[in-house]
């Protein structure tokens, strides 16, 4: 499935910065270190600063592939299921819920004293097939709200943080308040989204409730930044119980990043009284050539650039990566390289060895101001 990246930066803008960035990045990657198994983990480094580090997990390899399972436990203090809590897998038919895989992940979190993020209750992309006609009918909002109550209620008391609503803003759809063109949003508007947050609060009063969205990092994404800020402001002013904004952080190596623009955006979100977490970090290398060292260096340099600004904002409370190892990334299918090489987009390589991106995250935590 190919994700619509909306207004990701256009290729041509970045060519001129490529060579400069590439040589700087290569220079820094020369300082490659041996992989030390007892090195301070990412979550230990994060915790020293009052931050947290987590990763997305997939129940398939988590319960069948020991090196993957061990890699998750080595670095993360928080996990979020990749797909297992989404609507389609948890309610395959109208009358039957199936929490088998989501429950296994919740138990794994408890057994290993990991915090659990819930992802996600309301998302236009994942309703089960049986909802197809209901969603577009007058019952659409009710069925979505019922689902949110049921899902969040099922995990009551066990999830630290829920992405209650995911990716509701799509300015390109031309709908009121920049809401995505999706029947429940078309009919209910922002009030409906506020209702989703109220339903979530009732279903699990202790969980922190997040709105989660993408493409707010780069120069060309100003329209999305503005739309999301005004949306969050309206949600708050209508009394929606929202605690935080999840910034997905699906980055693209070598895209033009203006740190002042991003700093300002983060502080505007913070001014709304919201916590911020980067919830799905990965760094696509689709715009880079095939050379592995160069790709790793540029991905690491981009990670550093981004995280240094992110962690400077006091409202930011942590980072979650959308996977731990290049062996498993949604980007391989969702955003494949033209040459079909495996993207080098996550902290560990396909054999679970630390890459420069791992060290870039580690050092960003080390540099981060304490909370
Ligand atoms: C992706 C999963 O990684 C894929 O396995 C699945 O096919 C589609 O969804 N933003 C989100 C995540 O909020 O839920 C998406 O996860 C990636 C983009």
Task: Give 96-145 pLDDT, tens digit per residue.
Answer: 999 999 999 999 999 999 999 999 999 999 999 999 999 999 999 999 99
**What's the pLDDT tens digit per position in 252-308?**
999 999 999 999 999 999 999 999 999 999 999 999 999 999 999 999 999 999 999
pLDDT at 34: 52
1 CA: nearest ligand 1 atom: 7
pLDDT at 16: 35
Supply the residue whose CA is at minimum distance from atom 5 of ligand 1: 330
Going by pLDDT thresholds of 50, 70 and 90, the confidence category of residue 24 is low
DSSP 37: T
DSSP 208: E
**What's the pLDDT tens digit per position in 60-76?**
999 999 999 999 999 99
pLDDT at 141: 98
Ligand 1 pocket check for 75: Cβ under 6 Å: no
212 CA: nearest ligand 1 atom: 13
Ligand 1, pocket-test mutation among 102, 280, 281, 330, most atoms within 8 A of CB: 330
Ligand 1 pocket check for 166: Cβ under 6 Å: yes
pLDDT at 80: 99
pLDDT at 35: 58
Q: Distance from the CA of 83 to the center of ligand 1, in angstroms? A: 7
Going by pLDDT thresholds of 50, 70 and 90, the confidence category of residue 37 is low
* 247 pLDDT above the threshold of 50: yes
Ligand 1 pocket check for 280: Cβ under 6 Å: yes
Ligand 1, pocket-test mutation among 79, 81, 82, most atoms within 8 A of CB: 82
> Percentage of the chain surpassing pLDDT 70?
90
Going by pLDDT thresholds of 50, 70 and 90, the confidence category of residue 26 is low
Q: Which of 39, 202, 280, 363 is catalytic?
A: 280
120 CA: nearest ligand 1 atom: 14
* 250 pLDDT above the threshold of 90: yes
Rounded Cα gap, residues 241 and 200, in angstroms: 9
Ligand 1 pocket check for 97: Cβ under 6 Å: no
* 19 pLDDT above the threshold of 70: no
Domain ranges of the chain: 23-367
Q: Determine the CATH number of domain 23-367.
A: 3.20.20.80
Q: Which of 167, 202, 313, 350 is catalytic?
A: 167
Catalytic status, residue 280 = yes
pTM: 0.92
Ligand 1 pocket check for 282: Cβ under 6 Å: no
Write b or e for each residue in 308-343: b if 16 or more Cβ atoms lie within 10 A of its Cβ, otherwise e: ebbbbbebbbbbbbbbbbbbbbbbbeebebeeeebb
323 CA: nearest ligand 1 atom: 3
Ligand 1, pocket-test mutation among 83, 86, 126, most atoms within 8 A of CB: 83
Lowest average pLDDT, out of 7-11, 271-275, 310-314, 357-361, goes to 7-11
pLDDT at 334: 94
For residues 343-356, average pLDDT: 98
pLDDT at 38: 79
Q: Is the peptide bond before 345 cis (omega within 30 degrees of 0)?
A: no
For residues 147-176, average pLDDT: 98
Tell me the Cα Rg of the chain: 20
For residues 148-163, average pLDDT: 98
Burial of 70 (0-12, 13-18, 19+ CB in 10 A): exposed
Catalytic status, residue 167 = yes
**What's the pLDDT tens digit per position in 181-221?**
999 999 999 999 999 999 999 999 999 999 999 999 999 99
Ligand 1 pocket check for 330: Cβ under 6 Å: yes
Ligand 1 pocket check for 248: Cβ under 6 Å: yes
Q: Distance from the CA of 119 to the center of ligand 1, in angstroms? A: 10
* 56 pLDDT above the threshold of 90: yes
Contact 91, 98 (CB under 8 A): yes
* 18 pLDDT above the threshold of 50: no
For residues 228-248, average pLDDT: 98
């Amino acid at each position: 499935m190919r994700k619509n990246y909306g207004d990701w930066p256009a290729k041509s803008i970045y060519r001129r910065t490529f060579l400069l960035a590439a040589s700087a990045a290569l220079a820094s990657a020369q300082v490659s270190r041996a992989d030390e198994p007892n090195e301070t983990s990412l979550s230990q480094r994060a915790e020293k600063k009052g931050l947290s580090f987590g990763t997305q997990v997939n129940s398939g390899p988590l319960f069948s592939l020991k090196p993957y399972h061990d890699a998750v436990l080595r670095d993360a203090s928080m996990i979020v299921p990749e797909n297992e809590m989404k609507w389609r897998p948890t309610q395959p038919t109208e009358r039957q819920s199936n929490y088998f895989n989501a429950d296994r992940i919740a138990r794994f979190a408890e057994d290993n004293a990991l915090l659990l993020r819930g992802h996600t209750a309301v998302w236009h992309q994942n309703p089960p097939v049986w909802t197809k006609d209901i969603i577009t009918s007058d019952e659409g909002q009710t069925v979505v709200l019922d689902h949110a109550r049921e899902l969040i209620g099922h995990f009551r008391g066990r999830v630290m943080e829920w992405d209650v609503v995911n990716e509701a803003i799509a300015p390109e759809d031309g709908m009121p308040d920049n809401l995505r063109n999706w029947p429940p949003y078309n009919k209910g508007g922002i009030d409906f989204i506020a209702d989703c947050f109220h339903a979530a609060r009732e279903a699990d009063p202790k969980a922190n409730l997040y709105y989660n969205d993408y493409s707010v990092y780069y120069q060309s994404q100003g329209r999305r930044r503005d739309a999301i800020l005004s949306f969050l402001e309206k949600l708050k002013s209508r009394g929606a119980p929202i605690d935080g904004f999840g910034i997905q952080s699906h980055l693209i190596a070598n895209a033009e990043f203006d740190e002042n623009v991003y700093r300002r955006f983060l502080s505007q979100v913070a001014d709304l009284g919201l916590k911020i977490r980067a919830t799905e970090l990965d760094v696509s290398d689709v715009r880079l050539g095939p050379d592995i060292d160069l790709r790793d260096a540029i991905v690491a340099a981009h990670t550093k650039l981004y995280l240094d600004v992110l962690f400077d904002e006091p409202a930011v409370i942590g980072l979650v990566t959308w996977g731990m190892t290049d062996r498993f990334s949604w980007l391989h299918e969702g955003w494949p390289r033209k040459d079909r090489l495996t993207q080098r987009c996550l902290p560990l390589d396909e054999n679970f060895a630390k890459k420069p991106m791992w060290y870039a995250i580690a050092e960003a935590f080390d540099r981060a101001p304490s909370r």
